[in-house]
Amino acid sequence: MIPTLLTLLPAASADDSSWITFDIPSLMQNFWSATFDGLTFGSIYALVALGYTLVYGVLNLINFAHSEVFIMGCYGVFFTLSFLGFGPSAPNLSVGSIIVNLLLALVVAICASALTAFLLERLAYKPLRKRNAPRLVFLITAIGASFTIQYTIFLVRGPNPEPALTMFKSRPIFEVFGTFIYDQQLIIVIAAVIMMVITERFISKSRTGRGIRAVAQDPDTATLMGVNKEKIIITTFVIGGILAGAAALFYVMKIPSGVQYNGGFILGIKAFAAAVLGGIGNVRGALLGGLLLGLIGNYGQILLGNSQWTDVVAFVVLVLVLLLRPEGILGTSLGRSKA
């Protein structure tokens, strides 16, 4: 965790005269490519952010171990693709068989993440609920669970990232505003948005979704209505896991070298920030927050000419937004996502 944090800081040796400069021409020039790529990253943040938001909604708990739910999905992707013979260079396969392989990796990733989320709730949080533990204990348990999973992976796989696997060679497919849009970007954004729309529909229309919203607003009254709170909680964790598993496939597609024991940490923090930015507990807020954070990070990076600044810029904006709107852009209620 510490080394990862250090990489956030600018290298001390950078020549001081250019420590902060605003490269506006560069931003103008690269605006659209930064936008498309920002939306791609933003979709991934949003998928992970939903997991934070849903669990926060029903348990009022910031599930810090959700970043590890996500990274387990990344390992699911990595192992599936290695098993299927993918390597550092793009595979020599037909489009059809690549799609089949990626769908297989998606299924494994979703299972890995959902199972992690399920076990996390059953082994870590449920026993605390049975004992009526105070809120702080849940939070500390969440952080503890996060470290436990990270260092278990560390023990098994070591400190280094897994070798990068290329899923397919990303190709430009059409041009908008003089900038190419790549098939990879399109796949990620479209798939993520479809998953989020399905989630939103599910929460607002299905019987289980009504149960989730009821528990989020008033758990005791929800129980009086016949809602099985425990079933709703575990379902919520699993939904968050499924979305994180899908995010894992897209993340490894975009950053093949990102599969590492602590590889979920920064992404988890950003996804959490996205949830807070949009309004934690709010399903649409997670989407909005994720996309905004992806865009802001990319613009900031170009404007400041240094990729190390991406995260800093994103968080500065987060703090500014929260100063103006402490409940996030769309407010905090799970149910209010409909309004």
Q: Which is nearer to another protein, 116 or 282 (CB)?
A: 282
Q: Is 134 in the site for another protein (CB under 8 A)?
A: no
Radius of gyration of the chain (CA): 20
- Judged by phi (left if over 0) then psi (alpha if -120 to 50, else beta), residue 279 lies in left
CB of 213 to another protein, least distance (A): 7
CB of 337 to another protein, least distance (A): 8
Nearer to another protein, 66 or 336 (CB): 336
CA separation for the pair 42, 44 (Å, rounded): 5
Measured from the CB of residue 132, what is the shortest distance to another protein in angstroms?
Answer: 10
Of 113, 146, 301, 333, the residue at the interface with another protein (CB under 8 A) is 333
Q: Does 336 bind another protein (CB under 8 A)?
A: yes
Q: Of 39-98, which residues contact another protein (CB under 8 A)?
A: none
Q: Which stretch binds another protein (CB under 8 A): 61-69, 157-165, 182-190, 330-338?
A: 330-338
- CA of 321: how far to CAs of 30, 206, 273, 309, 330, in Å? 25, 33, 11, 18, 11
Q: If DSSP codes are grouped into helix, strand and coil, which group holds residue 331?
A: coil
Pick the closer one to another protein by CB: 175 or 218: 218
Closest approach of Cβ 315 to another protein, in Å?
29
Residue 240 one-letter amino acid: G
> Shortest gap between Cβ of 333 and another protein (angstroms)?
5
Closer by beta carbon to another protein, 169 or else 325: 325
In what helix (H) or strand (E) does residue 190 lie, and over which residues does it extend?
Answer: helix 183-205
- Rounded to 10 degrees, the C-alpha dihedral 27/32/37/40 comes to 140
Q: Which residue has the tokens 């990076």?
A: 301
Q: Site residues for another protein, window 211-240 (CB under 8 A)?
A: 211, 213-214, 217-218, 220-229
Q: Which pair of tokens denotes residue 323?
A: 């100063």
Task: Tell me how far, at minimum, the Cβ of 160 lies from another protein, in Å.
Answer: 47
Closest CB to another protein among residues 16, 220: 220
Q: How far is the CB of 226 from another protein (least distance, A)?
A: 2
57 contacts 334 by C-beta, under 8 angstroms? yes
Integer Cα distance of 272 and 280 in angstroms: 9
Closer CB to another protein, residue 23 or residue 230? 230
In sequence order, what E strands does the chain have?
Answer: 172-176, 179-182
Task: Decide whether 203 or 313 has the Cβ nearer to another protein.
Answer: 203
3-state secondary structure 37-71: HHHHHHHHHHHHHHHHHHHHHHHCCCCCCHHHHHH
Number of residues that bind another protein (CB under 8 A): 23
Q: Hey, is 174 helix, strand or coil? A: strand
193-212 residues near another protein, rule: CB under 8 A: 207, 210-211
CB of 284 to another protein, least distance (A): 13
Nearer Cβ to another protein, position 302 or 334? Answer: 334
| Residue 204: exposure state from Cβ atoms within 10 A (0-12, 13-18, ≥19) | middle
Q: Does 137 participate in binding another protein (rule CB under 8 A)?
A: no
Binding residues for another protein, rule: CB under 8 A, are 207, 210-211, 213-214, 217-218, 220-229, 333-336, 338-339
